[in-house]
């Protein structure tokens, strides 16, 4: 898992190793430059330095301890069968591919999964999810473009209940004519899901494009205001040197990072482990 994470964070690691001076101890000034280079927000860089011991030379163990405090948020534990996941995010963030990766992950752990194509705003989104369902050999509930997305969610959950499935993963639209329409649609899907199965959706997960770095925080806040989000998945981390943005995302949203996407393959999704992530960053710095 550690090597998998390092491979996914290769560009972020390169940002550290390429900027740090050779054969020199890491001072606080050097640390500031390195963290900013990896897109750690300026305010958080200043906080990290403030909470380090007052000496000028930075100790690796001290830095690791301070950094890990930014990932203290845990996902809520809910026992439900089927466990219903509502997936949120703008178009282009990797939402549909991440749904496929989640389905593949659960299936590889001998769990049954059904997909719901509730992004009926775009015909392409329905077709893309259908293709993934075929490749992964998992069932899907889908309709035509323009069909009521809440009805698709209801049918997906009802089918999962009837078949005794472990997971139901519901895709949703990332963009409608305006934010008010999007808010109304997502609220309706959530409400109708609860009618299909009390307590559903059990987890509302936001997909964020890691290549956007700290700019993704504003996007995440907007979704969190529309419908309360339970956790975040960061995609495309293998394609960016902005891995440091995860500190800002976790702190600003006060939400757990659940998984990170580190490649194009259906297997390139790993459960986020704060300690392993911070250790990888610290190893690169020192």
pLDDT value at residue 183: 87
15-29, 124-138, 150-164, 270-284, range with the lowest pLDDT: 15-29
Instruction: Evaluate if residue 142 carries a pLDDT over 70.
Output: yes
Instruction: Evaluate if residue 176 carries a pLDDT over 60.
Output: no
Q: Are residues 239 and 266 in the same domain?
A: yes
The Cα 123–Cα 212 span in angstroms is 26
Q: Are residues 127 and 227 in the same domain?
A: yes
Task: Kindly state the average pLDDT of the residues 255-267.
Answer: 87
Query: Is 285 within a domain?
Result: no
Q: Are residues 121 and 201 in the same domain?
A: yes
Q: Are residues 66 and 114 in the same domain?
A: no
pLDDT value at residue 227: 87
Q: Are residues 90 and 65 in the same domain?
A: no
Q: Are residues 118 and 164 in the same domain?
A: yes
Tell me the per-residue pLDDT of 181-235, one tens digit each, with 9 for 90 and over. 888 999 999 999 999 999 999 999 999 988 887 677 787 888 888 888 999 999 9
Q: Are residues 60 and 156 in the same domain?
A: no
Query: Is 89 within a domain?
Result: yes
**Residue 13 — very low, low, confident or very high, per pLDDT cuts 50/70/90?**
confident
Query: Is 78 within a domain?
Result: no
Q: Are residues 36 and 105 in the same domain?
A: no
Q: Are residues 124 and 55 in the same domain?
A: no
Instruction: Evaluate if residue 236 carries a pLDDT over 90.
Output: no
Query: Is 249 within a domain?
Result: yes
Q: Are residues 223 and 97 in the same domain?
A: yes
- Could you check whether the bond before residue 135 is cis, i.e. omega within 30 degrees of 0? no
Name, in order, each residue with C-beta under 8 angstroms of 256's C-beta and a sequence gap of 6 or more.
71, 73, 74, 75, 231, 232, 250, 272
Instruction: Evaluate if residue 113 carries a pLDDT over 60.
Output: yes
Mean pLDDT of the chain: 88
Query: Is 283 within a domain?
Result: no
pLDDT value at residue 3: 60
pLDDT value at residue 10: 80
More confident residue, 36 or 9: 36
CATH (domain of 27): 1.20.120
The proportion of the chain whose per-residue pLDDT surpasses 70, expressed as a percent, equals 94
Q: Are residues 126 and 167 in the same domain?
A: yes
CATH (domain of 208): 3.40.50.300
Q: Are residues 135 and 259 in the same domain?
A: yes
Which of 30, 46, 71 is at the close of a domain? 71
pLDDT value at residue 111: 97
Which of 22, 40, 71 is at the close of a domain? 71
Tell me the per-residue pLDDT of 42-93, one tens digit each, with 9 for 90 and over. 999 999 999 999 999 999 999 999 999 999 887 777 889 999 999 999 888 8
Query: Is 216 within a domain?
Result: yes
- Number of structural domains in the chain: 2
Which of 71, 95, 122 is at the close of a domain? 71
Q: Which domain range does residue 178 map to?
A: 83-273
Query: Is 210 within a domain?
Result: yes
């Amino acid at each position: 898992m550690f090597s998998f994470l390092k491979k996914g964070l290769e560009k972020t690691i390169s940002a550290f190793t390429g900027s740090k001076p050779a054969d020199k101890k890491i001072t606080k000034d050097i640390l500031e430059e390195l963290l900013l280079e990896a897109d750690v927000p300026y305010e958080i860089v200043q906080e990290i330095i403030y909470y380090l011991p007052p000496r000028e030379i930075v100790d690796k163990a001290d830095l690791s301890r301070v950094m890990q405090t930014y990932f203290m948020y845990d996902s809520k534990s809910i026992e439900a069968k089927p466990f219903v996941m509502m997936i949120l995010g703008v178009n282009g963030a990797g939402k549909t591919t991440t749904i496929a990766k989640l389905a593949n992950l659960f299936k590889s752990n001998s769990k049954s999964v059904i997909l719901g194509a509730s992004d009926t705003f775009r015909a392409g989104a329905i077709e893309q999810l259908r293709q993934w369902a075929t490749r992964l050999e998992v069932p899907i509930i889908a309709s035509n473009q323009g069909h009521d997305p809440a009805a698709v969610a209801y049918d997906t959950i009802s089918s999962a209940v009837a078949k005794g499935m472990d997971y139901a993963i519901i895709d949703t639209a990332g963009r409608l004519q305006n934010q008010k329409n999007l808010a109304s649609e997502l609220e309706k899907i959530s409400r109708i899901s609860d009618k299909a199965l009390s307590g559903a959706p059990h987890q509302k997960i936001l997909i964020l494009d890691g290549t956007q770095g700290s700019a993704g925080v504003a996007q995440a806040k907007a979704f969190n205001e529309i419908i309360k989000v339970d956790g975040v998945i960061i995609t495309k981390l293998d394609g960016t040197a902005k891995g440091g943005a995860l500190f800002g995302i976790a702190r600003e949203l006060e939400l757990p990072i659940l998984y990170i996407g580190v490649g194009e393959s259906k297997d390139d999704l790993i459960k986020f482990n704060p300690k392993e992530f911070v250790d990888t960053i610290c190893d690169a710095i020192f």
